[in-house]
Amino acid sequence: MRDTNDEDHMPDETPTRQPAPLPPMQRGQRLPRSERRAQLLEAALSVFVENGYHQAAMDDIAARAGVSKPVLYQHFPGKLELYLALVDQHSTELEKLVLDALALGDNKARINTMVKAYFDFVAQEGAAYRLIFESDLANDPEVRKRLDQVDHTCTEAMAGIIRAETSMDHDEAVLVGVGAYGLAQTSARHWLDHVDTISKETATRITSALIRRGFAAFPAVGKDGRPVGGSTAAGRESVGSAAG
């Protein structure tokens, strides 16, 4: 009987897949706990990306990592916990990339760097973005909670910038933030499917310009609430200024 993560105890007649094992030199090695956990997460990521959550099995992950199932269960009590650990790891990574970009002082740099962060994230080896943007377990409450938290944190950060430099209220700023967040994400994923026809540099430049020109429709305001024209008093491009 093939293990399916304790979620389904019915016999599975599907022939067991034979995932590619790790190089022989790595099999049987004793590793510090943190290194072993990282190795197991790497193996699990490849299996989940290739097969999806429901078709992946702990047998496959253990074989991919070159360890026994008891070793795998020493670190993760079940398949869901292993999947959640990966979602936590990569959603935290994406969140940090976006927040670091939005923390920059210049708005043009903020948008350009935020867009680049999405493109860099989807281009990473291992396709971890699929667990965040294309998860086949997105309806699971625990997974959904984590994915929604990333969306909320990033859009609220962007909304804070928008509110500070335009006359929008919170709900309006969040709506614009969601639009910018979604545009960066979907553009990056579209580019990944068309890397042979458009360069990453061109795709990020176009996406960044589109977002900035969209923001230009909303007048920038100074601290006194009055329009400041095309730029802030400090001479920086503002959220509401025309894109260059």
Superfamily designation of domain 24-77: Homeodomain-like (1.10.10.60)
Query: Any idea which architecture 84-215 has in CATH?
Result: Orthogonal Bundle (1.10)
Integer CA distances (angstroms), 107 to 25, 102, 235, 239, in order = 49, 8, 11, 6
Q: What DSSP state is assigned to residue 216?
A: T
Q: How confident is the model at residue 106 (pLDDT cuts 50, 70, 90)?
A: confident
CB 161 within 8 A of CB 110: yes
Q: What is the mean pLDDT of the segment spanning 21-25?
A: 41
pLDDT at 77 over 90: yes
- Are domains 24-77 and 84-215 of this chain identical in fold? no
Average pLDDT over residues 138-153: 93
Which position has the higher pLDDT, 192 or 219?
A: 192
Is pTM beyond 0.85? Reply is no
**171 HSE (CA, 13 A, CB side):** 0
Mean pLDDT of 142-164: 92
Kindly state the tokens that stand for 5: 């993560």
Residue 157 pLDDT > 50? yes
Cβ(143)–Cβ(84) below 8 Å: yes
Instruction: Work out the mean pLDDT of the chain and round it to a whole number.
Output: 83
CA distance 128 to 55: 17
105 or 112, which is more confident: 112
Burial of 203 per CB tally in 10 Å (0-12, 13-18, 19+): buried
Per DSSP, 195 falls in state T
Minimal CA–CA distance to 129: which of 177, 97, 82, 81? 97
Residues 6+ apart with CB under 8 A from 105: 236
Amino acid at residue number 182: G
- Give the model confidence (pLDDT) of 114-132 as tens digits: 999 999 999 998 899 999 9
Distance CA 175, CA 179 (A): 6
Domain ranges of the chain: 24-77, 84-215
Residue 203 confidence (pLDDT) above 90: yes
**What average pLDDT does the segment 66-70 reach?**
93
